[in-house]
């Protein structure tokens, strides 16, 4: 997600600084952005000089303090509450007064994350969809703690990126994932019951609902670890047994099969 968000911001004309924990991680991200922009040029969708300028505006660092020139920072690390909380606290101490801090979390409570910082009024959610480069929607999540100016700055950033924003209260799963993930979880349970195969369920939801991809292909695209984390958060919020994560999802994540990013999930790539 980080590479996609960086690419969107670069094409919108922003200077982007990406902080990775390792030089290797930073190099991988630049390679991803460069490859994706190169594909746009090959397809005739982007002038090569625009790609070159965008890449000149991308710098990477492994030092958090190097983000301190920014007016907005978006964290997009692994969907884990402890890691995000720790990172937001650190960002709060390095980001200048007047800047805003956003999280790309898929389901974690933005209010809880904001309250981990000393300035919760400048924390909100800016939730991109996968792939960020092509999906038009961004959810702007407004925790009760956020100031009006934070939300306005977030909405202005999303508009500048050419995306359509929806403003949503900080409820579990926001809009899209609250509606989407019960369906994805139920698709796995349907397969487990033996109603139909993975391929047939994918085919059915494409042909029967005009969805661009079936539930298993989508779970693999999102990443099974991220998907499990989202479903666990929704389950914890509802407390309903019906929302418990499907067994095969838990098993695949335990085995390290995380979807497209590891080459195997419900499908093999």
Ligand X SMILES: NC(=O)c1ccc[n+]([C@@H]2O[C@H](COP(=O)([O-])OP(=O)(O)OC[C@H]3O[C@@H](n4cnc5c(N)ncnc54)[C@H](O)[C@@H]3O)[C@@H](O)[C@H]2O)c1
Separation of alpha carbons 238 and 158, rounded Å: 30
Separation of alpha carbons 32 and 180, rounded Å: 27
Choose, from 7, 76, 111, 127, the residue flagged as catalytic: 127
Separation of alpha carbons 172 and 262, rounded Å: 27
Which spans in the chain are helix H? 2-11, 23-42, 48-56, 81-94, 110-114, 148-160, 176-193, 198-209, 215-222, 224-238, 247-254
Separation of alpha carbons 45 and 34, rounded Å: 15
| Contact between residue 164 and residue 135 where contact means Cβ atoms under 8 Å apart | no
Q: Is 106 a catalytic site residue?
A: yes
Q: Which residue's CB is nearer to ligand X, number 6 or number 11? A: 6
Q: Is 139 a catalytic site residue?
A: yes
Q: Which residue's CB is nearer to ligand X, number 87 or number 231? A: 87
Closest CA to 99 of 64, 63, 149, 61: 149
- Give the nearest distance from C-beta 200 to ligand X in angstroms: 24
Q: Which residue's CB is nearer to ligand X, number 139 or number 202? A: 139
Q: Which residue's CB is nearer to ligand X, number 134 or number 148? A: 134
Angle formed at CA 21 by CA 20 and CA 27, multiple of 5 degrees: 50
Choose, from 7, 75, 79, 139, the residue flagged as catalytic: 139
Separation of alpha carbons 30 and 250, rounded Å: 32
Q: How many residues does the chain have?
A: 269
Q: Which residue's CB is nearer to ligand X, number 184 or number 198? A: 184
- Give the nearest distance from C-beta 195 to ligand X in angstroms: 26
- Is there a cis peptide before residue 131, judged by omega within 30 degrees of 0? yes
Choose, from 99, 104, 111, 177, the residue flagged as catalytic: 177
Q: Which residues bind ligand X (CB under 6 A)?
A: 1-2, 21, 25, 76-79, 83, 87, 104-106, 127-130, 222-223, 226, 261
- Give the nearest distance from C-beta 54 to ligand X in angstroms: 20
Choose, from 104, 106, 111, 185, the residue flagged as catalytic: 106
Q: Is 177 a catalytic site residue?
A: yes
- Give the nearest distance from C-beta 159 to ligand X in angstroms: 19
- Give the nearest distance from C-beta 19 to ligand X in angstroms: 7
Active site residues: 106, 127, 139, 177
């Amino acid at each position: 997600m980080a590479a996609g968000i960086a690419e969107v911001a670069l094409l919108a004309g922003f200077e982007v600084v990406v902080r990775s924990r390792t030089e290797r991680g930073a190099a991988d991200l630049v390679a991803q952005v460069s490859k994706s922009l190169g594909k746009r040029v090959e397809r005739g969708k982007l002038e090569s000089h625009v790609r070159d300028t965008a890449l000149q505006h991308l710098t990477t660092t492994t030092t958090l303090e190097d983000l301190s020139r920014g007016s907005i920072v978006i964290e997009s690390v692994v969907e884990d509450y402890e890691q995000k909380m720790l990172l937001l606290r650190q960002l709060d101490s390095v980001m200048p007064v007047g800047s805003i801090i956003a999280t790309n979390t898929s389901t974690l409570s933005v209010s809880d994350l904001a309250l981990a910082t000393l300035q919760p009024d400048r924390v909100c959610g800016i939730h991109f969809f996968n792939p960020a480069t092509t999906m038009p929607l961004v959810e702007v999540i407004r925790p009760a703690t956020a100031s009006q100016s934070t939300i306005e700055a977030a909405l202005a950033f999303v508009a500048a990126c050419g995306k359509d924003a929806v403003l949503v209260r900080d409820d579990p799963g926001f809009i899209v994932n609250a509606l989407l993930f019960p369906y994805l979880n139920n698709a796995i349970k349907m397969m487990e019951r033996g109603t139909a195969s993975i391929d047939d369920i994918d085919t059915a939801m494409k042909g029967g609902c005009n969805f661009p991809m079936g539930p298993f292909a989508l779970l693999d695209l999102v990443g099974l670890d991220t998907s499990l984390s989202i479903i666990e958060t929704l389950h914890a919020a509802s407390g309903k047994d019906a929302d418990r994560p499907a067994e095969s999802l838990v098993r695949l994540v335990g085995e390290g099969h995380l979807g497209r990013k590891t080459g195997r999930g419900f499908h093999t790539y």
